[in-house]
Chain A
Amino acid sequence: MSHKDRRSFLMPHRRPKQDQIRLTGQLAIEQPAMLQRVAALEAARAAAPPNSGLTPYSGPWTRTETIHLLRRCLFGATAADVHYFSALTLDQAVDQLLDTTYTPPAPPVNDYNGADVTDPDIAFGDTWIDAFYNIDVEGYRIESLRGWWLRRMMTSERNIREKMVLFWHNHIPVLFAEVFSGVLLYRYQNTLRENALGNFKDLTRAITIDPAMLFFLNGNANSVFAPDENYAREIQELFVIGKDLPQHYTEDDVKAAARLLTGWRIGTDFNTYFDPNQHDKQDKQFSSFYGNRLIKGKAGVAGGATELDEFLDMLFDHPEAARFVCRKLYRFFVYHNIDAQTEQNVIEPLAQIFRDNNYDIVPVLSALLKSEHFFDQLNRGAVIKSPIDQVVGFYRQMGVTFPGAADLTDTLYLSYVTNFVLAEMLQTPGDPPNVAGWQAYYQQPVYDKLWINSSTLPRRGQINEFLVFVGLYGANNVAKADVLAFTESLNNPGDPDLMLAEVHELLLGLPVASSVVNYHKAVLLSNLPSAYYWTLAWEAYLANPTDPIIRGEVENRLKILYHVIIQTEEYQLA
């Protein structure tokens, strides 16, 4: 079987070919109306911009605020999460979310041995993270890793780390299908996870010489004899400086950086080393954008590392570095549009905190998440969920779980199906369209609206419907929405009014009109006028949870109710 064939079962749409075409076609129809709307809103916001800034929020700290915070920092907010965080003060809640204590998760294992493939080097159940490269099994390891990552998100602890891993993966991505080595990709993932709440400058350094990145953006082939500008450009354009300023780095800066970065190689042990013979030892002159900085060429094994440090110092000395990343954090966690007011009241002071803390990430997130701006009414419910946020959030909220160690094969399969579905919604973890990440995080002026088109929106509803009514099937296990457990986790499941209020709060990004509430109540009550009948049925279930008839009576209604609720458009917002 050829190399190509081996890759053929990898997640589809790794390159946005077909879907991209459809998306573009969609935009052609939808864009005029959309742009008008965006323009109107931005005009309205410009007339009455949110004045809020980074002043610590001192308004009410209720369930509503807790849910807003958790939605943005976790994947969905479960009733138990809300209960837990509601008992804390806002400061305590944010500090807990930003807790930097890190226990490395158990690494991915060989869960792919089976009818299709047998890994000659790694036994079923053993980890493959130090395995020899093997073209015949790399694809399986990659899907093993992708599934492992998905499950990290599904079983995330009550902190922001996994959301930040996704943020960094979007910000400094390598594409799984391009790198095509499970071992390298696991190490890349590890770098993101370990540094997710660390120091951005350290992370940038680690990624610059990360073997997966060296392979992905050709650093591995960058030499004094044939400089390759790929990474040298992206680190400036996409990772650290950006092109938001009218004046930015120059083409000569790209060339100088490329020369500076020559010599980094991936060893046969898959670790990075520096080869001084491949390194350009001439001086590197940068433009006035960087204050005409001159970085002296250096020889020897340590030369490349020293030059890299000086280069990173130069990048991070530029005031735009902090602003650029703060804008991306803002778009990811708060709202896509940054107007002049927000730039001045939020981005600039945030960037100052970033610089003052030598690019430590936590102080920035802490200031942002505790700010009155974050809790500004204008920012609530204003994010369209990414597919990962929607699907993983639904799994967490509705208790969709995989068997784990009890059945590795099924766990891999169920993870694969989920990633397959995410691919159809245009967000495959590990395979954004290209090195710029997913368009929804950067494409002006539409941003997160790009997640929604007339092909993806029905699919976003379908997956939830599927999980409620059918379930995902492995050979021996089914992963389903557990509507009963979800309902039991609520504060007042026996009271239709209180129950619906809580469900709406948990699942919907915006409050719904009373007519909608009444409709949902009618669904739960099968059109009966008295709430008492639900209470009775629910209590009967609690008293006889295993009786299939009594259980079916409440389960039927809950399935239909939740199905109806997650079909409302408000469900798409966070």
Chain B
Amino acid sequence: MKRRNFLKNITAGVAVPSLIGGFGVKAYANSPFSPLFNALTTDTDHVLVMIQLSGGNDGLNTVVPIDQYAKLAIGRPEVILPEASILPLTGTNKVGLHPALGGLRELYDEGQLRIVQNVGYPNPNLSHFRATDIWMSGSDSDEYLPSGWAGRYLSYEYPNFPNGYPNNDMPHPLAIEIGSAMSMSLMGTQTGMGFVISNPDEFYNLLAGVQSQAPNTPAGEQLAYVRQIAQQSRTYAQTIVNASGTVTQQQTYPETELAAKLKIVARLIAGGLKTRMYVVNIDGFDTHDSQVDPDNHTIGEHANLLQELGDAIRAFTKDLKFLGIDDRVSGMTFSEFGRRIVSNFSGGTDHGEAAPMFLFGKPIAGGITGKNPLIPSNPTEYDNLDMEFDFRSVYGTILRDWFCVPETDVPDILLHDHAYLDLYQSNISCISTATHQANQSAGRSLLDCSPNPFTTNLQIVYRTDGGPTTVQILDASGKVIATPAHGIMGRGEYMVSFSGSSLPAGTYFCRVLNGMQHQTKTVVKVGNN
């Protein structure tokens, strides 16, 4: 039985708690302070940590194809690593790591690191912004998607979010982003699914209750007041502070920004947050020049970045083990693109195409996926690395094997269908069906669309707190294609049916809007066309 079908049966019987009423925000704003929400989770929920390497990481100097060394030396003399400096990996003499990645080599040797070679997508885009959006949304090169892949997964798992959140089943943010600019990957179908801690300082301020200085003027006094209320109404702040406070001992981390962020992530997971995804960022990979020290290619900007990356991940995995949560956490690195084979006279490299990804953590099956890239004999600036694996294969595998999404549902989330890879250990236990069920009905459902998948008619049951209410059908790009119900309505539950017989098969969204509340659910049209 498809999980989705069986969920439908469950949700039909679930009563909407009446106490939420029209004041969802207010009613729940206080509840995180209740003891209920401070209980530590004993859950085995899986957590994904995404590390974004902003700027486009030079894959060829990160995971070095040793068997191509001679051709690389011709193509990129300004940045090539001395062959002897390349860190060998156990079990292969063809692939080595940058000498600054000693931390990752240790992980590899322990079987906790998987390298996926040559990840990309067809017709790569070399603009930072566009390429970042492609990676975060999971779109094709020539397709515009307004939501993020991770956000769509969270919408799938917690379909009622943010209505009636936080709640007992999910008292914590679904995802937390630390020190990154708010990224697109956590955008759900219509709403942001992530909680942003804009920088580690802010996090510590949050813990210490420190507020930044407002000027000593009438305006400053007004500002301080608004901030005080803002602090009180930040729904998740107190739960995060509480979770963090329960962890008193951690392993040592290097004194770098990325390490500081990962240290917070470890602390929050160990502190009991049920948050499923964390996004952190390390920037500076856009190394057009001065990528290496001209006199010693093993040091320089790129080496510093990789050192920070490898050491931080190493410290993080040790800490996860120390905290006893290493079974629950896996991580991945990604960058919007790799860099060119040939180097610049200024000691750097230009934007490129395919590049390797790292997956790390105890649940990961260590090893290497894919082959070394083939470097042309006399590479020119027109030569790029071809993709071997689509990045959405990695996402799909994470969804299927780590978040236990049934394979049939993965394309509904990714909006694309790609092959799967072997990245995780084979003995991964999934979250219990009961937990998944609870996630599905957690919060307040404002609409149910059935049957799902549908072939002709869709029956939409929606709930409004009264006032302006609209029910819409949207296509995968977010465009409204039908408005089955619209008007000023009394509080209550309504039903409307929508005939989708003329629609092409594919993914669609039902959406209800009521004042400032809104909820979107995914439905799939099959057959018939």
Contacts and interface: CB of A to CB of B under 8 A. Distances in A.
Interface in B118-137: 127-130, 132-133
Contacts of A405: none
A146 B85 CA distance: 75
A543 interface: no
A424 B515 contact: yes
Interface string A530-554: 1001101100100000001110111
B127 A536 contact: yes
A429 B146 CA distance: 35
Contact of B286 (A528, A537, A548): A528
B455 to A, nearest CB: 27
Contact of A455 (B25, B133, B472): B25
Nearest to B218: A382
Given A556-B184, A569-B226, A527 B190 contact: no
A380 B221 contact: no
Contacts, number: 190
A510 B127 CA distance: 35
Given A41-B221, A526-B128, A455 B516 contact: no
A462 interface: yes
Interface stretch (A31-39, A199-207, A488-496): A31-39
Contact of A384 (B23, B52, B146, B226): B226
Contacts of B370: none
A435 interface: no
Contact of B132 (A378, A452, A474, A526): A526
Contact of B144 (A22, A381, A466, A548): A548
B84 interface: no
B406 interface: no
A526 B142 CA distance: 20
B62 interface: no
Interface stretch (B40-48, B434-442, B479-487): B479-487
B87 interface: no
Contacts of A8: 490
Contacts of A537: 127, 129-130
Interface in A448-463: 448-449, 452-455, 457-459, 462-463
A335 interface: yes
Given A382-B218, A473-B513, A454 B467 contact: no
Nearest to A451: B226
A4 B500 CA distance: 40
B283 interface: yes
Interface stretch (A121-129, A215-223, A414-422): A414-422
B414 to A, nearest CB: 18
A469 B190 CA distance: 7
A528 B283 contact: yes
Contact of B223 (A466, A470, A510, A554): A510
B468 A453 contact: no
A180 B217 CA distance: 44
A377 interface: yes
Contacts of A115: 487
A370 B163 CA distance: 48
Contact of A560 (B181, B221, B229, B286): B181
A45 interface: yes
A510 B221 CA distance: 12
Tell which of B55, B182, B216, B470 has the most Cβ of chain A within 10 Å: B182
A529 B488 CA distance: 49
A526 B25 contact: no
Interface in A382-397: 382-384
Contacts of A413: 468, 486, 488
B222 A527 contact: no
Interface string B284-319: 101000000000000000000000000000000000
Nearest to B21: A18
Interface string A285-329: 000000000000000000000000000000000000000000000
A552 B470 contact: no
B527 interface: no
A459 B25 contact: yes
B198 A526 contact: no
B218 A463 contact: no
Contacts of A335: 218
A303 to B, nearest CB: 48
A533 B129 contact: yes
B224 interface: yes
Contacts of A549: 130, 142-144
A548 B477 CA distance: 11
A528 B55 contact: yes
B230 interface: yes
Interface string A551-570: 01110110010011000011
A513 interface: yes
Interface in B449-482: 466-468, 470, 472, 480
Interface of B: 23, 25-26, 29, 52, 54-55, 127-130, 132-133, 142-144, 146, 180-184, 190-192, 198-199, 212, 215-230, 232-233, 235, 281, 283-284, 286, 466-468, 470, 472, 480, 483, 486-488, 490, 513, 515-516, 518
16 contacts: A37-B221, A37-B225, A44-B216, A380-B219, A416-B488, A448-B222, A457-B230, A462-B516, A463-B516, A469-B192, A470-B191, A470-B513, A519-B198, A533-B129, A556-B129, A557-B129
Interface of A: 8-9, 12, 22, 30, 33-34, 37-38, 41, 44-45, 115-116, 335, 337, 377-384, 413, 416-417, 420-421, 424, 448-449, 452-455, 457-459, 462-463, 466, 469-470, 472-475, 478, 509-510, 513, 519, 522-530, 533-534, 536-537, 540, 548-550, 552-554, 556-557, 560, 563-564, 569-570, 572-573
The 8 A-B residue pairs with the shortest CB-CB distance, nearest first, are A381-B219, A382-B218, A523-B181, A454-B233, A527-B54, A527-B283, A569-B226, A41-B221
